[in-house]
Amino acid sequence: MEVEKLLLRPKPKRRRRAALIFLFSFFLLGAAIAAVNFYVFWAGKKYVVVPEQLRGAQAAIVLGAYVFPDGRLCDMLKDRMDTAVELYREGRVQKLLLTGDHGRRRYDEVNHMRRYAESRGVPAEDIFLDHAGFNTYDSMYRAKSIFLVDSAVVVTQDFHLPRALFIARSLGLNAVGVAADKYRYVGVEQYYLREIPARAKDFCCVAAGVEPRFLGKTVPITGDARATHDQRD
């Protein structure tokens, strides 16, 4: 019996070899993620501009974020909307494309974003709503394929812009980005960390040509935005 136990026990060399293979695989994975992050970051970062550099675009694409139950926009989203409204008022964009999560009846980012823009003087006919912008990749994909946007200014925070612009330009959008960082946000460091896996995921989505779950009929950005409104206030 003792002899059988000794025979079944893994040899030290095999265990060391397995450990080395695991460590090497872990190193390769980490190196791949780092390389993809570096590529996505710099591929998008070079298209970040200041408003004064803009010569006019079809639309400002405003990426959604959390909306409180009472309809208030979180600080990041409010700053995105304020930045987009400023671009519209200055004539740097012709339309607003507000894209966010409206997949549930009780949670609606885009209509609250619309109301905010209207309260600041943007005409309803110039505010397009993308109710199925559930993530950055879907929002960029749908901007191109559903709303037929050719030229755009992506409006979001600085940590988010490189990935959003990488996706947009990879999908054929002539896009630049304007950072909406009007303040330093509490806990912003965690958003920078979250970008690491998000860049890797979206790089794979672009490479694989993944389609969003929801597409639908086209609604050209050159038309009347009220065709995308589902609520009458």
Tell me the three state secondary structure of residue 77.
helix
Residue 56 Cα to chain centre, angstroms: 22
pLDDT band at 3; cut points 50, 70, 90: very low
| pLDDT tens figures, 9-35 | 556 667 766 666 666 566 666 777 888
Task: Indicate the range of 2-16, 30-44, 180-194, 200-214 predicted with least confidence.
Answer: 2-16
Which DSSP letter does residue 217 get? S
Q: Which of 140-144, 147-151, 181-185 has the lowest mean pLDDT?
A: 181-185
The winner for highest mean pLDDT among 4-13, 19-28, 158-167 is 158-167
- Pick from 120, 117, 141: which is nearest to 225 by CA? 117
The string of pLDDT tens digits covering residues 92-137 is 999 999 999 887 878 899 999 999 999 999 999 999 999 999 999 9
Instruction: For the sheet with 93-99, list strands across it.
Output: 127-130, 93-99, 57-63, 151-156, 174-179
How much is the mean pLDDT over the chain?
A: 89
Percent of the chain with pLDDT over 70: 88
CATH of the domain at 217: 3.40.50.620
In a domain, 32, yes or no: no
Q: Is residue 106 part of a domain?
A: yes
Domain of residue 59, residue span = 46-228
Q: How many residues appear in the chain?
A: 233
Query: In terms of pTM, does the model score above 0.85?
Result: yes
**The amino acid at 224:** D
Q: Is residue 54 part of a domain?
A: yes
Residue 115 resides in a domain: yes
- Here the tokens at position 189 are 């460091």
| Residue 183 resides in a domain | yes
In a domain, 217, yes or no: yes
Distances (CA, A) of 11 to 8, 14, 16, 22, 122: 9, 5, 9, 17, 73
Q: What is the pLDDT of residue 7?
A: 47
**Can you tell me the mean pLDDT for 175-195?**
89
The number of folded domains in the chain is 1
pLDDT, position 26: 62
Q: What is the pLDDT of residue 221?
A: 96
The pLDDT > 90 percentage for the chain reads 70
Task: Write the DSSP symbol of residue 226.
Answer: G
Note whether residue 144 is domain-resident: yes
Query: 156 in a domain, yes or no?
Result: yes
Distance CA 43, CA 218 (A): 29
Query: H or E stretch including 127?
Result: strand 127-130
